[in-house]
Structure 1
Amino acid sequence: MSATVPKTMRALITQPEKKAVVKEVPVPSITDDEILVKVAAVAQNPTDWKFVEFVQNHGTICGCDWAGNVVQVGKNVTTYAVGDHAAGFHQGGSYTDRGAFAEYVKVEPDLAWKVPPGALSHEEAATMGCAFWTAVQALFHPTRLGLVEPPKKAPGNEWIFIYGGSSSVGLYAIQLARIAGYKVVTVASPRNHEVLKSLGADAVFDYNDPDVIAKIKETTGDSLHVAFDTISVHDSQVLTVKTFAPGPGKLIVIQQPEEDAKKLNSKVTIQHTLIYTALGKELKLGNGYPALPDDRAHMAQFLTKVPGLASSGAIKPNPIKLWEGGLEAIPDGLLYMKEGKITGEKIVYRV
């Protein structure tokens, strides 16, 4: 099954000297087990500019988060049809035929999710990629925090601390934890407190408050044993570990664990999680990461739940900052993010 598809497309391609430019490249060919999607909108993540600047896989397609309509379906695929609205996540900056910042993307169908008609726009669906997947993996994967996974619910009396509630990952982590029956305490800039409460946070504090640790301990009855740091710099990890109650605990971080944080409390395990492992491929980053089939299987099964979460309104997409100019404007948006000018919103482009 297919619609008319051109032979070439425009895509944002990594270049030497830490640059990315729009070029004409071949439209990806799909296997019998893949689908091809005409991209309508893409969303931006910090990993996008970091791949351009630090990883520098020259000649590869940038971008992770995409949404659009299916235009080709491999003959072995039974879960999608031409015209379906789909959204998903890629490891941008790594492949010449696979990346979000392009007019077409190919994907294995179980690593995409079908957007219910009328539930979300393309722009909204595009925000539910890297950040959403990261929150899912950190909270629910059995080898990470291993929390009770929706639609099941925890009893409702266990607290989780989410550092960085107004980050893209934090916005989703708050919602997912509440859906799963947990009580959520988080920290963020004061201007974002009301938004975070509207998404389900039970208590929100300013991370710059000198008494923030004492306030968290008082609010939670000094009962914290699980936490997720969505920022994961030195100071955020140290603060988070200091909020833990006596006894064993586990903290999931999205950057490498800090030695100073590990030394604070020997009973708190600090574990790094990397969302790219959910794609089920070997990663050539740093010292390398082997393919992790269990990570892929966990994400694939969770993605079957996402259409229901989206259509019911249980999960609200990140607030959008629509950046005009399409693919050609993305380098400017990447610089804007690199300079730390975005918070509480997701930069999205129409393709």
Structure 2
Amino acid sequence: MATNKYKVHLISDNKNLRRKLNKVTYFEEIHMDISLDVVNEDITIVDDTIININDLLENKDKISSQYIFYRVSHDNFRFSTKSILDSNNILLIGPYMTDDNLVEFVCQNVIKAYKFNVNKNIITFFGADTKVGTTQIAQSIAEKITDKTDAKVCLIFLDGEVGTDYINVDFKNNIDSIKIKLISGLVTVDEILDIAETGKNKKLLMIEGTKSILYRKEYQPEHISQLLNILSLACDVVIVDAGSYIDRAMSISALTATNHRYLVTTQQANSLRRYVEKRPILEILSLDDFQVIVNKHMQEGSLLTNYDVAKTYGQPYLAKINFSRYALEAEKDRKTLIHYNDKDLNKDINKLTDVIIDQMALIKKETPKKRKWFKGVV
């Protein structure tokens, strides 16, 4: 096309969707209809509440569009529908997509010059080593964000392990409960949220990781990407504990899903050595872009300073979390360290949380001002 703009035929009664399509500079004309006649536009978007799948397939020859999208409602979202659409070169739009997400999806598939951004509301914590405290940090930040904001937060463990060592909640389900539907590409947002548990704070959803070493190998990057995409639409913030293994699809997908990547490490030389071993893979995947969090920090003259630690990793320093003497107790009680009387650690966690809230453009709750008391004048 000389103009590099596309004409869209929308078979739907969704006026809001039409308005959003009109705002896309790549679309020069949006034709809206509630019947299927001859269609000559470049893109056709069909709503299944207007045209059922059999009518669409029977009259597909009337559509000369290069791209055909079919929006499927929740009741019609099944494997057979997806298979039939795939075999007829029709792209399925799932029921979990909002109108904004639909426009993004169409642009991603049609416009070559259009760059689909990574999810802006996903936070991924990755460990330089297995013992640096990645889970503690990820969970503490999740808890603090729900305390400091009204955001709906989902904490998910995608390191190939269960991950819920510091959550004293009986998880009835985990990611394996939706494995078949996730791998088939048919999982819905409701099915994902159904496997989540909540603690005292109902705004914090928690999804337990895999319990099976065998299942761990079955999850491919595209499966985890789909899971995170759906969660990013359903929640204000998604926080991922990606563990420290770079040879697992779960961890790789969690890192590629966002630009908000935080590397958790310590002042120990072992942590650096472990990271150096996996750095070549991270570089090949263009995932060697982190903000450094120095955990278990100790003020010792023989140890590297926080900025020196960050320099050795070749990444910018973000924050430090003080060493806590309550670590073993927290492990036994299945709690994060923020629930203990450790003022230095809580101060560090609060400071880090505030920085992340700012980076994610979240709105903090207004803290009630303390009432001032004045002595009466006689």
TM norm structure 1: 0.27
Higher strand fraction (1 or 2) = 1
Structure 1 or 2, whichever has the larger Rg, is 2
Q: TM-score, normalised by structure 2?
A: 0.25
